[in-house]
Amino acid sequence: MYDEAQILDQLKEGNEDVFLFVFRRYYKDLVLFAGTILSNRRDICEDIVQDVFLDLWNRRSSISIKTSLKGFLLQSVRNGCLDELRHGKVVRAHVDYVSFLGNDTDSLTEQYILYSDLESRLKEGLSAMPEEYRQAFELNRIYGLKYKEISAGLHVSERTIEERIGKALKFLRHYLRDFFLWISFLLYL
């Protein structure tokens, strides 16, 4: 019915029919794709895909798609899933910490704020680092893949993966240095 250039032009002009066409065409596949990353969490997968489409509509006039529309949507869903995984990891760590502390609510509030600030700052740091460092770091630290598995998947040497993760850690240490100094100061009060 539409070719990709027409779709992008019509989206930028705010054509709701074309947006609905794109939504219907890709929604199911994107939810299934999200499910490969976030297994057994269909409701969250649907939320992420809906957020991607909402963002597409809200930024339609200024969005720049350098790949195909489907590639753009897949990458957006992937990023949303990775954000969800990161957030889940922070929440689990917080729950574990709360269990450890007991019922000290003042301390719980402070700790929640610290976790929230750290998560936000970490997201900023990950998005600011070069793509190849971030990708290697996330595959190792979030997905738990070994250097050998990552190198096979990315078609680079294990040494390259080791260097990329090392550089990502150095970048994050530098990026988060003020945050960690602040936490250290609070711990010694």
**Domain-ending residue, one of 102, 135, 153:** 102
Residue 67 in contact with residue 35, Cβ under 8 Å? no
Domain, as residue range, for 39: 1-102
Give how many domains the chain has, as a whole number. 2
We report the CATH number of the domain holding residue 83 as 1.10.1740.10
The pTM assigned to this predicted structure is: 0.50
Are 127 and 80 in a shared domain?
no
Are 108 and 185 in a shared domain?
yes
Q: Show pLDDT as tens, one digit a residue, over the chain (189 residues).
A: 568 888 888 889 999 999 999 999 999 999 998 888 887 678 889 999 999 999 999 988 888 887 788 888 999 998 888 888 887 776 666 566 556 655 555 555 666 666 677 778 888 888 899 999 999 998 888 888 899 989 988 899 999 999 999 999 889 888 887 766 655 544 444
Are 110 and 86 in a shared domain?
no
